[in-house]
Amino acid sequence: MTSDTTLCGTGEPIRPRKPTPRRFWRLPGVYPPQSDTHLLARTLLVESLEPGTRVLDIGAGTGYLSVSAALAGSRKVTAVDVDRRALLNIRLNARLNGVRVRVVRGDLTIPFGANDFDLVVSNPPYVPAADDVLPVGGLARCWDAGRDGRAYLDRICREAARILSPGGVLLLLQSGLSDIDATWTELRRQGLSTDVVSTEHIPFGPVLTARASLLRQRGLLRPDEDFEKLVVFRAVNSRSAAH
């Protein structure tokens, strides 16, 4: 499989010089680390991760991003997911890699208070589905995000500013199929200084291959299109501590 991954604005490939997880397990029913996970991990590792950097991984799945942040230097990493099996998976992978990750069961940002985090990362479900009924179980819950693919993206865009410290950063990954412009607009509406900092084009996997006909009917794909564009937004909370 080929891919094209760049740090936007430079045309240069992303080459983080920080450790990544050495050993990793995935329990059945938990979203496996894939191209989107690895793109976000490489972007994450470009950030400054000091021992005191408070990191939140939203929809953490196996904990690949959480463990990556801990290995890169943060001693204050939190992973949140609604799935109990995912929480067990995160604990297992943190232990395998010799790092500490606080694990929280909850719905996106709801368990957390104002200004709780300096860096928030998320690779949420973003694939447009047949309808707006969100799965409550099974692997489909890991990617289905309503008809427009924005059920989770919109919430994260609206809620991130509240939990970010002044100067805090949100790294949010999504597909070009789920309206990049809408994410840009909503993040800026929430007062976050926003840029696309990395992109990648990957061949369709099994989910998009099976859904391609539906997406073409909606005009989201060209007839000959069989590559997906992934982007990572970097949104900075530019408000001062006094606000």
pLDDT at 240: 60
| Domain-embedded: residue 16 | no
| Domain-embedded: residue 21 | no
pLDDT at 241: 55
pLDDT at 139: 87
| Domain-embedded: residue 242 | no
Tally of domains within the chain: 1
| Domain-embedded: residue 23 | no
pLDDT at 4: 45
| Domain-embedded: residue 22 | no
| Domain-embedded: residue 18 | no
**Structural domain containing residue 156:** 4-9+33-237
Mean pLDDT by 10 residues, the chain (243 residues): 46 56 89 95 96 98 98 98 97 97 97 97 97 90 95 98 98 98 98 97 93 94 93 91 49
pLDDT at 177: 96
Cα 3 to Cα 203: distance, rounded to the nearest angstrom: 8
Cα 107 to Cα 47: distance, rounded to the nearest angstrom: 25
CATH of the domain at 131: 3.40.50.150
| Domain-embedded: residue 39 | yes
Give the helix/strand (H/E) hosting 96.
Answer: helix 84-96
3-state secondary structure 171-237: EEEEEHHHCHHHHHHHHHHCCEEEEEEEEEEEECCHHHHHHHHHHHHCCCCCCCCCEEEEEEEEEEE
Cα 37 to Cα 21: distance, rounded to the nearest angstrom: 12
Non-local CB neighbours of 185 within 8 Å, separated by 6+ positions: none
| Domain-embedded: residue 137 | yes
Percentage of the chain modeled with pLDDT above 70: 90
